[in-house]
Amino acid sequence: MYANCPVDKHFAYNSAPSKTVRQFLMSETESRDFIRQIISDDLESGKHQQITTRFPPEPNGYLHIGHVMSICLNFGVTEETGGRTYLRFDDTNPGKESSEYVEAIKRDVRWLGFDWGGRLTHASDYFNKLYDAAIKLVEMGVAYVDSLSAEEIRSYRGTLTEPGKNSPHRDRSVKENLDLLARMRAGEFDDGEMVLRAKIDMSSPNMNLRDPALYRIRHVEHQHTGNTWCIYPMYDFAHTLSDAFEEITHSLCTLEFEDHRPLYNWFLDQLEPRHRPRQIEFSRLNLAYAITSKRKLNALVEEGIVEGWDDPRMPTIAGMRRRGYPAAALRDFVHRAGVTKKDKLIEMGVLENSVREILGEEAPRRMAVLKPLKVVLTNYPENTVEMMEAMNHPARPEFGTRELPFSRELWIEQDDFMEEAPRKFFRLKPGGEVRLRFGYIIRCDEVIKNDAGEVIELRCSYDPETRSGSANSDRKVKGTIHWVSCAESIDASVRLYDRLFTVANPNTAEDFHAVMNADSLQTVAAKLEPSLAALENDEPVQFERLGYFCADSESEDESVFNRIVTLRDSWAKLEKQAMQEQE
């Protein structure tokens, strides 16, 4: 029955390890996590010549940062050892699953940089074979059709401290069971009327072994098999056998499946498939101030709390991509988090640092003003525009330069001016001087206010001798600020994102609604330098002194930008300041 499995068999077993395997075995052993160590041992001992893994998402939602870890592990170990990885949709639960999710998952895995190379499968591809396996278990006398209701089954199951009791239908004859199973499949019963169960041990201390369900009746259309089936296999059964059919060598899953391993092995012991996978568990990755449960993420979407699965505040791959996180930063982050058996809650700052590190090197610099305050240079000629040369990256001359228009009326950042400034404020204050980056030194002569007493404009004068790059440009002032020219600037709506939750571990909150950050999105009307109109859609840039930004890919209006991440971790900065004050 395991002969014609619809998976590829096109690789040759060699007795000599391949070059990639040899390279892997010779690589630094200290950097290996415990799973890579097991894999290395198995390759070294010759137990396996080639490693096969799978990433098995259920298509009932979009992938999140936790899945990134599983993807990088499963695809990573086979990339390193020249093995192969299946992308297998674990689609045994119709009703909650959809082809929208299937397509989103494929897009996300590809974007992360991994290639399943034609090994795209579904648990539902094996529905015939799984059904045959169920018949075999019935014939062996180790599975039976139960007609207890779901509630009765629950009450018969016992508790962690009390053994369960046998169903009155447990000892049905093989013949009767085969007949009932066939009729279940033929659609003669309603949902929940019958269930196929494994006959293991109702008093086992492991609840998973108390005659677990193998098949249940669901008269629901399936996103992949349509109306072919009205009975669907349970996860543990389908998962174990799908692993065996695909000849998965190392079935890597998260720790909550540790208790399921005895059942996994029970299926393999009973059915003795030609290939026996080994299940290994590792701990889930949890990100602080974020939730990593598809059910809860779905609730955020359904309740309209966020814009969608790809809202840039979501810890989904689609959200982080739209936010502007590079795929390489996500891979770097999970690498830093490591594969262990210990529960982890990793600071958002660690992820943000991975993002900053990559963008710091890659992102060209641009000028933008998020909260504009007008500056008029009273001694600068009207109707004149000078082009200033600006470096695209301070550390990478190969990025070249661009021209920035400079004129009599400019925007600067509101925060860069203080009327009553403390002594150590080195930006603009009345009577004070500051350098405009790539421009001139200016002095603030006059502060204009509206009737409400708010500062609405600064009258300044510029020193024509101090143009950046000119002979006298080294006249020193303490502060340098960014700016854009009013007439040439473009308007943009810039979205500033913050954490979605106010507590480090919203996963454990009784009601996550109670710990949502009401200020997770702030939109400002910003002014950008004109070159940003020609920005490639997915190109991230640094707005000097402000952070990393990208054009929002989902907005029809071209001038919507997302803040990817600030320049420094403002939390870390506060901590550092506090520590310095103590010194």
Q: What angle, 0 to 180 degrees and rounded to 10, lies between the N-to-C axes of helices 65-81 and 34-44? A: 20
Q: Quick one: tokens of 356?
A: 């900053």
Number of residues that bind ligand ATP (CB under 6 A): 15
E strand or H helix at 493: strand 490-497
Residue identified by tokens 């019958």 is: 194
Residues 550/540, Cβ–Cβ less than 8 Å: yes
Q: What is the 3-state secondary structure (H, E, C) of 292-346?
A: CCHHHHHHHHHCCCCCCCCCCCCCEHHHHHHHCCCHHHHHHHHHHHCCCCCCEEE
Q: Which stretch binds ligand ATP (CB under 6 A): 51-59, 94-102, 143-151, 532-540?
A: 51-59
Which position among 199, 216, 294, 331 is part of the footprint of ligand ATP (CB under 6 A)?
Answer: 294
CB of 362 to ligand ATP, least distance (A): 27
Residues 425/477, Cβ–Cβ less than 8 Å: no
CB of 316 to ligand ATP, least distance (A): 10
Which position among 69, 301, 317, 363 is part of the footprint of ligand ATP (CB under 6 A)?
Answer: 69
Is residue 56 a contact residue for ligand ATP (CB under 6 A)? yes
Which position among 293, 407, 505, 559 is part of the footprint of ligand ATP (CB under 6 A)?
Answer: 293
Which position among 57, 83, 312, 326 is part of the footprint of ligand ATP (CB under 6 A)?
Answer: 57
Q: Tell me the chain's radius of gyration from C-alpha atoms.
A: 31
Is residue 294 annotated as a catalytic residue, yes or no? yes
CB of 489 to ligand ATP, least distance (A): 43
Give CA–CA dist 198/263, Å, rounded: 10
Is residue 292 a contact residue for ligand ATP (CB under 6 A)? yes
Which residue of the set 218, 284, 296, 344 is catalytic?
284
Q: Quick one: tokens of 338?
A: 């490591």
Sequence-separated (6 or more) residues with CB below 8 Å from residue 414:
371, 372, 373, 455
Residues 457/417, Cβ–Cβ less than 8 Å: no
Is residue 58 a contact residue for ligand ATP (CB under 6 A)? yes
Specify the residue, 240 or 466, whose C-beta has the smaller distance to ligand ATP.
Answer: 240
Is residue 66 a contact residue for ligand ATP (CB under 6 A)? yes
Extended strands (E) in 414-507: 433-436, 441-449, 455-463, 480-481, 483-485, 490-497
Is residue 510 annotated as a catalytic residue, yes or no? no
CB of 59 to ligand ATP, least distance (A): 8
From residue 330, give the alpha-carbon distance in Å to each of 65, 171, 351, 353.
8, 53, 7, 11
Identify the DSSP state of 486.
Answer: T
Which residue of the set 58, 347, 362, 558 is catalytic?
58
Give CA–CA dist 354/329, Å, rounded: 5
Residues 200-259 that bind ligand ATP (CB under 6 A): 253-254
Q: Which stretch binds ligand ATP (CB under 6 A): 56-64, 161-169, 491-499, 509-517?
A: 56-64
Specify the residue, 63 or 494, whose C-beta has the smaller distance to ligand ATP.
Answer: 63
Specify the residue, 146 or 332, whose C-beta has the smaller distance to ligand ATP.
Answer: 332
CA-nearest of 432, 434, 433, 436 to 468 is: 436
Residues 415-434 that bind ligand ATP (CB under 6 A): none
Under DSSP, is residue 358 helix (H, G, I), strand (E, B) or coil?
Answer: helix
Q: Looking only at Cα atoms, what is the longest distance across the chain?
A: 101
Q: Which stretch binds ligand ATP (CB under 6 A): 54-62, 223-231, 367-375, 565-573?
A: 54-62
CB of 90 to ligand ATP, least distance (A): 6
Specify the residue, 206 or 254, whose C-beta has the smaller distance to ligand ATP.
Answer: 254
Is residue 331 a contact residue for ligand ATP (CB under 6 A)? no
Give CA–CA dist 358/565, Å, rounded: 12
Give CA–CA dist 219/231, Å, rounded: 7
Which residue of the set 36, 54, 172, 294 is catalytic?
294
Specify the residue, 189 or 257, whose C-beta has the smaller distance to ligand ATP.
Answer: 257
Identify the DSSP state of 566.
Answer: E
Is residue 284 annotated as a catalytic residue, yes or no? yes
Residue identified by tokens 């966020």 is: 306
Is residue 92 a contact residue for ligand ATP (CB under 6 A)? no
Specify the residue, 170 or 335, whose C-beta has the smaller distance to ligand ATP.
Answer: 335
Specify the residue, 203 or 508, whose C-beta has the smaller distance to ligand ATP.
Answer: 508
Is residue 70 a contact residue for ligand ATP (CB under 6 A)? yes
Specify the residue, 5 or 317, whose C-beta has the smaller distance to ligand ATP.
Answer: 317
Is residue 33 a contact residue for ligand ATP (CB under 6 A)? no
Is residue 320 a contact residue for ligand ATP (CB under 6 A)? no
In single-letter form, the type of residue at position 572 comes to A
Residues that bind ligand ATP (CB under 6 A): 56-58, 66-67, 69-70, 90, 253-254, 284-285, 292-294
Active site positions, annotated: 58, 284, 294
